[in-house]
Structure 1
Amino acid sequence: MNTIKLAIPILMLGFIAPALAASPACERKEVEIKNQIQHTKENNNMQRVRGLEKALSQVQAHCTDAALIKDKKEDIAEQQEDIDELLEDIQQKQSEGRYDKVEKLERKLGREREELRTLQQELKELEA
């Protein structure tokens, strides 16, 4: 009888463990949110804590690595669209002779390209 009681949890762990290990990106996301919750609690921002706890429960209930990868690819596509728009704006301002605006837009373009590189690196990490 005791053998059966011991065998059931071990068998269940055998089914659960692969499912948990199959989502490393989701696990990382969960850890990040838990760290944010801890930091936010230390700063006594309870409204933000409640929001983060809600986000954590959503991640725990619905997160898949495939969904995270899909979302990151969408973010990259949106970022690339922003960059393309900035390049068009720069060309337009150059043709108008508004070089003060060109410099400002080029600085913004640099920031947007850096954000794109960050998103691409995050995607690499998700796919690893």
Structure 2
Amino acid sequence: MKRLFASILSLFCAASAMAAGEPSPACQAKRANIESQIAAAKAKGNDRRVVGLESALAANKRHCTDASLEAERQRHITAANKKVARREADLAAAQAKGDAKKIAKQQRQLDVAREELTEAQKPLAQ
């Protein structure tokens, strides 16, 4: 009985050690991105941003999984799709009014929204 308990305990410890090992490449990429943002914020003297990014880095180190990153990516894609649809409607309204300045402004905003959507749709780093 003691041997059985000892072997189960050792298997559990080995599994825990493997789970606590190296983070996935996607999590490492996210971590590197946050760290570079921290360096940039420190260089600009933006202390509030540094605090927020350090909090994000700590959360990444504690909770990052490929599944959580994919869920976050899907949320960004959904939000970007909604923004593109809203910008397309704004452009259509401006075109209906015929105001050249508003049309140009709405077209620029639509272009930015489409770029954000394209960025959100990029696959996770593997």
TM-score higher than 0.5:
yes
* Structure 1 unaligned blocks of 5 or more: 1-7
Per-residue deviation, residues 61-108 of structure 1 (Å, max 9, x unmatched): 111111111111111111111111111121122222223211110111
SS in 2 for 1:103: helix
Which structure exhibits the higher relative contact order, with contacts defined as CA atoms closer than 8 Å and separated by 6 or more residues?
Answer: 2
Residue aligned with 2:117, SS: helix
The residue identity in structure 1 corresponding to 2:60 is V
Q: What TM-score, normalized to structure 2? A: 0.72
Q: TM-score, normalised by structure 1?
A: 0.71
Counterpart residue type for residue 30 of structure 1: R
Structure 2 portions without partners, runs of 5+: 1-9
Checking the alignment, whether the CA contact within 8 Å between 2:87 and 2:110 is kept in structure 1 is yes
Report the secondary structure of 2:124's partner residue.
helix
CA contact (8 A) 2:76 2:120 kept: yes
Deviates further, 108-117 or 36-45 = 36-45
Q: Aligned AA for 2:66?
A: D
Q: Given the alignment of the two structures, is residue 100 of structure 1 paired with residue 108 of structure 2, yes or no? A: no
When residues 103 and 17 of structure 1 are mapped into structure 2, their CA distance, relative to the original with a 3 A threshold, is: same
Closer, same or farther: CA 90–33 of 1 in aligned 2, 3 Å: closer
Helix, strand or coil at the partner of 1:125: coil
2:52 counterpart of 1:51: yes
Q: 1:42 to 1:95 in 2, by over 3 A?
A: closer
- % identical equivalent positions: 32
* Distance in structure 1 (CA, Å) of the matches to 2:120 and 2:44: 28
Number of aligned residues: 115
CA distance in 1, matches of 2:109, 2:50: 33
Partner of 2:26: 25
Aligned partners of 1:42 and 1:110: how far apart in 2?
A: 31
- Describe the shift of the 1:47–1:80 C-alpha distance in structure 2 as closer, same or farther (beyond 3 A): closer
Give the whole-Å Cα distance in 2 for the aligned partners of 1:18 and 1:28. Answer: 18
Which residue does the alignment assign to 1:60?
Answer: 61
Between 39-48 and 68-77, the greater mean CA deviation after superposition = 39-48
CA RMSD of aligned residues (A): 2.6
Q: Residues 101, 61 of structure 1: CA spacing in aligned structure 2 closer, same or farther, 3 A cutoff?
A: same
